[in-house]
Chains A and B, each alone.
Chain A
Amino acid sequence: MPSGKITSVTEQTNQLQTAPSTGETKLANRANDYSQTVGNIRVDSPKMSMSNVDVFYGDKQAIFDVSLDIAKNEVIAMIGPSGCGKSTFLRCLNRMNDTIDICRVSGKILLEHEDIYDAKLDVVPLRARVGIVFQKPNPFPKSIYDNVAYGPRIHGLATSKVELDEIVETSLKRAGLWNEAKDRLDQPGTGLSGGQQQRLCIARTIAVSPEVILMDEPCSALDPIATARIEELIDELRSNYTIAIVTHSMQQAARVSNRTAYFHLGYLVEVGKTNDIFTNPNHKLTEDYITGRFG
């Protein structure tokens, strides 16, 4: 399925490059104006809803006035050149930026109508609801079993050993690691290959049954085969979870996401259905990026 989509994207972009449409001039005029997001940022029943989010690192502003909704059970991809703030934005969604002292976030981020930056909100249950998978696989230096069981253990999700075993098994099965790992559950998670480690990290995240999974370039440290496995996995997970994925690979965004958001220098330039973004981008910068003129 994914490969078919890719060729269509490239075909389309080639067409855009070779045969400039009448819209080209209109796009060019807007090339230097990206403070207004193009496309529909709102959805009908948002799982998460961000309004006017600014992020500062000390005096430096990294995110400028970004508003965006994430719909229930959708996969939204965030793309853009390096340093455009997409990872920073993603990390705001479960307040991972709290760990950086100089980082300051303003604006509103709602998780089902609840402001997650509310002073009274506890980040511990928030992060149980909004899980995150990082760029580099980072299993704990513990056994595979303990890696997956860690989240359920600290939240007290399992009342008995049997129940915990069950959670570990289903999580590993969902992450597509069960067959490879079932005979070596007591061996260290750090002994797995890179792709297996990343799937272990995904299993660890879904063991807590979060509502939203954030993925920060989950495949950038993996080879193409491991990447394909993870992408298949994302495809399977979308029926149960809401997923926000940051990626450097446009093909990956095209393959796995329903909607795509394009970031540029801290601004959300354009957002829309993935198919539309890749076949008929409205903004000149988006077009330049997906056709490979920069980035």
Chain B
Amino acid sequence: MSQTTIDIVNKNLAKRYAREKRFRLLGFGSVMIGFAALVFLLVTIVGDGWGAFKQSSVRLQLNFDQSVLSIEDVADEEQWQYGNYIGVIKAALRERFPEMTSRAQKKLIYRVVSPGADHQVRQLLKKNPEWLGSRQEVWLPADDDIDSFVKGHVDRSLPESDRRIKDTQIVLVDALQESGDLKLKFNTLLFTAGDSREPEQAGIRGALVGSFLTLLVTLSLSFPIGVAAALYLEEFAPKNRFTDVIEVNINNLAAVPSIVFGLLGLAVFLNVFGLPRSVPLLGGIVLTLMTLPTIIISSRAALKAVPPSIKEAALGLGASKMQVIFHHVLPLALPGMLTGAIIGMAQALGETAPLLMIGMVAFIVDVPGSLTDPATVLPVQIFLWSDSPERAFIERTSGAIMVLLTFLITMNAIAVLLRKRFERRW
């Protein structure tokens, strides 16, 4: 007897299911590859960057002797400013290790504490002027070589000539650790200091403030301009060849490499308009150019999503075009517009290339105080640190990346929440 239809179907069935299974496995595999890449990225960054949030600190008995500090006249601000704070630290170190007497040994013990620690001592004395003339117990950041050794990044078994930390210093560190005078503490300097050539003195405060000021300019320019442009194109513009060309070009603009915007900023804003270089104001303007297409496109999508029936209802009641837009269309489209703006801001926050072109890559120690102070931004700070030779900058680079990622994830989470919260079904 010949095969019935159902026999043929059954024969092919296994093959069909196998194909489906293969396809599903392929899809699952692709997702897993992406997921694995993400996990690898996060694990390496967090693994490297974790140490940046801890810093070895040394406890010293500082003697704020007026003669050592050379502050003779207490009323003279300048003497406080230029006091010999290094001398105080050195004296305390000599006191702590009286057995180190030779010149070479003294040089080594001075290098236990960060060469920039005098800055902290000055700050402390400024805050507590009554300390003058007394002895105080103070924790000061250790030098980055000592810090790396304490964190276990240095192999003790290497010959001394291959190590940046010398045998004598290892003895000192061991002694300090034993007496509890050397501990890993939370690295507050990372969040309170600007950039520095000394890793243990370097912080992201300057970059964070720079990023904040830059984004402030970007947001306050790109959101109103973007929304107004989207409103005009969606609600008022006549549909003709000219608006078609504009629309195509906005979409093209969104795909332009960001460094081109940097070149534009350099050529136009710096050279033609003569704005000061490497300032948040200029950075914000350049990033505005970059985020505008994103905001316009998402705002138009949000406006398009407002059901025409609502507009018709308002028009049918005799509302004018402006009333329809401001009473009905904008409130309904606003969450979508804000979502687009936040995503645009997240993009701008992570942007490096255009800012390099306008000089925001400079080494800037001071925390910027205004829109026209020289500044750098977080991603550029990461770029700068990743280029630095000191071992301790590796973990600081990753630490700064962690901070940047935290901000980006938070911003995107807000965007998602906003979208979820105000999502409407019609």
Contact = CB atoms under 8 A, between A and B. Distances in A.
Interface in A85-142: 94, 96, 99, 101, 123-128, 131-132, 134, 136, 138-141
Contact of A205 (B317, B327, B328): B317
A151 to B, nearest CB: 4
Given A140-B328, A141-B332, A131 B317 contact: yes
A96 B315 contact: yes
Interface in B325-341: 327-328, 332
B313 A127 contact: no
Contact of B317 (A99, A101, A141, A151): A151
A101 B239 contact: yes
A127 B332 contact: no
B408 to A, nearest CB: 32
B310 interface: yes
B314 interface: yes
A208 interface: yes
A204 B308 CA distance: 18
Contact of B316 (A101, A139, A155, A205): A205
B319 A154 contact: yes
Contacts of A127: 315-318
A201 interface: yes
A208 B318 contact: yes
A140 B316 contact: no
Given A140-B328, A154-B323, A134 B312 contact: yes
Interface in A169-218: 201, 204-205, 208
B311 interface: yes
B309 A208 contact: no
Nearest to B425: A190
A205 to B, nearest CB: 7
| Secondary structure of the A contact surface, majority rule | helix
A289 interface: no
Contacts of B424: 141
B318 A124 contact: yes
A94 B318 CA distance: 10
B276 to A, nearest CB: 47
A270 B327 CA distance: 42
A140 B323 CA distance: 13
Contact of A128 (B238, B313, B317, B332): B317
A125 B312 contact: no
A150 B326 CA distance: 13
Contact of A131 (B308, B314, B316): B316
A72 B363 CA distance: 82
A138 B318 contact: no
Given A127-B318, A128-B318, A208-B318, A201 B313 contact: yes
B318 A96 contact: no
Contacts of A96: 312, 315-316
Interface in B381-413: none
B321 to A, nearest CB: 9
Nearest to A135: B309
A132 B313 CA distance: 8
B320 interface: yes
Contact of A134 (B239, B309, B332): B309
A140 B311 CA distance: 9
Contacts of B318: 123-128, 151, 154-155, 208
Contacts of B238: 101
Which of A139, A141, A155, A208 has most B Cβ within 10 Å?
A141
Contacts of A101: 238-239
Contact of A154 (B309, B312, B313, B317): B317
Which of B318, B320, B332 has most A Cβ within 10 Å?
B318
Interface string B2-35: 0000000000000000000000000000000000
A126 B239 CA distance: 26
3 cross-chain pairs, A with B, having the tightest CB-CB distances, nearest first: A128-B318, A138-B309, A127-B318
Interface of B: 238-239, 307-320, 323, 327-328, 332, 424
Interface of A: 94, 96, 99, 101, 123-128, 131-132, 134, 136, 138-141, 150-151, 154-155, 201, 204-205, 208
Given A141-B310, A150-B314, A154-B327, 17 more contacts: A96-B315, A99-B311, A127-B317, A127-B318, A128-B318, A136-B309, A138-B307, A138-B310, A138-B313, A140-B310, A140-B328, A141-B332, A141-B424, A150-B317, A151-B318, A205-B316, A208-B317
20 contacts: A99-B311, A99-B312, A99-B315, A124-B318, A124-B319, A126-B318, A132-B316, A134-B316, A138-B313, A140-B310, A140-B328, A141-B332, A141-B424, A150-B317, A151-B317, A154-B317, A154-B320, A154-B327, A204-B317, A208-B318
